[in-house]
Amino acid sequence: MTAPRRSRDHGLVSPTDLALPADYQQVLDDLKQAVRTARVRAHQAANTELIALYRRIGEAILDRQQAEGWGTKVIDRLAGDLRAEFPNMRGLSRSNLFYMRQLADSWPEAAIVQQAVGRLPWGHITVLLDKLDDRPSRDWYAAAAVEHGWSRNVLTHQISSQLHRRIGTAPSNFAVRLPAHDSDLAQQLVRDPYVFEFLGLTERVSERELETALMNRLQAFLLELGHGFAFVGRQYHLEVGGNDFHIDLLFFNWAQSRFVVVELKIGRSSRTTLASSASDASG
């Protein structure tokens, strides 16, 4: 019998004519499914903890607004202090803190664990808070999104088309089912940057290390960029249409009167542009 070959990383590779057991493919398929399911469950558990944390923050704000009259400026200060302590968590922005207050005002603590809302990514929850005014409608669409694996865009469309009025009955089995691993919801869940940053396991860790290194060599980096560049900010926060965006590095080119946005990526670049010019400064 031919001896196994060694791969470049010195692992054993079976010869192409190796006779596999009759049930090998079934075992392999079962294990693949087990890995996918475990991944979704792990991210689901982390996501539920994150949503519970957001509700706790919102409840603290809500209670103090009612008892002590906390105003907008205090919330602004709170957001700034939290971001200073946890700079890698983009979810602690001012606008998100107001969403957290809405979350606490809309659902009791038990609902985060026991009902569908606790299974949704944060972006889905902000859609429910923005587009719907009553708890029953929010619960209906939350349950439907979990059962059918809707992406955020699909959820927004279904709300706009008033699907609940056309169907009438709410999904009921969200508590015993996970979204299919290949559904849009599951894919968004396992890639949700809010969860990654909450856990400190962000995919952007190496990118942030690159960003830090660039900051340490900022003068030389500006010279590399070319003539007329001025540094504006790092992880620069923008709020557009109620959504939060964080720019890795933001520069202004005074010679061209344009902002220049730099998004840092580690690894082989794709068709996504890594650095692009933003709108004119006057715009």
Concatenated DSSP letters for 155-188? HHHHHHTTHHHHH-S----GGG-PPPTTSHHHHH
Give the model's pLDDT for residue 78: 94
Number of domains forming the structure of the chain: 2
Give the model's pLDDT for residue 13: 47
- Lowest-confidence region among 132-141, 155-164, 226-235: 226-235
Domain annotation covers residue 11: no
pTM assigned to the model = 0.60
147 shares its domain with 179: yes
Q: Is the pLDDT of residue 235 over 50?
A: yes
Domain annotation covers residue 114: yes
152 shares its domain with 273: no
Give the model's pLDDT for residue 1: 46
| Dihedral in degrees, nearest 10, Cα atoms 230, 236, 240, 245 | 130
- The average pLDDT across 142-160 equals 88
188 shares its domain with 215: no
118 shares its domain with 157: yes
The last residue of one of the domains, among 167, 182, 199, is: 199
Q: How far apart are CA 178 and CA 161, in angstroms?
A: 25
Comparing 265 with 40, the larger pLDDT belongs to 40
189 shares its domain with 218: no
Domain annotation covers residue 18: no
**What residues make up the domain containing 64?**
24-199
Q: Is the pLDDT of residue 160 over 60?
A: yes
65 shares its domain with 94: yes
39 shares its domain with 156: yes
Q: Provide φ and ψ at 9, rounded to 5°.
A: -90, 20
Summarised one tens digit per residue, pLDDT across range 75-106 is 999 999 999 999 888 889 999 999 999 999 99
179 shares its domain with 61: yes
Residues 6+ apart with CB under 8 A from 130: 242
73 shares its domain with 180: yes
Domain annotation covers residue 64: yes
- The average pLDDT across 125-142 equals 94
Domain annotation covers residue 135: yes
The last residue of one of the domains, among 178, 199, 220, is: 199
238 shares its domain with 110: no
The last residue of one of the domains, among 136, 168, 199, is: 199
Give the model's pLDDT for residue 218: 72
- Partner residues linked to 230 by β-bridges: 252
143 shares its domain with 223: no
- Lowest-confidence region among 97-101, 116-120, 145-149, 264-268: 264-268
Domain annotation covers residue 2: no
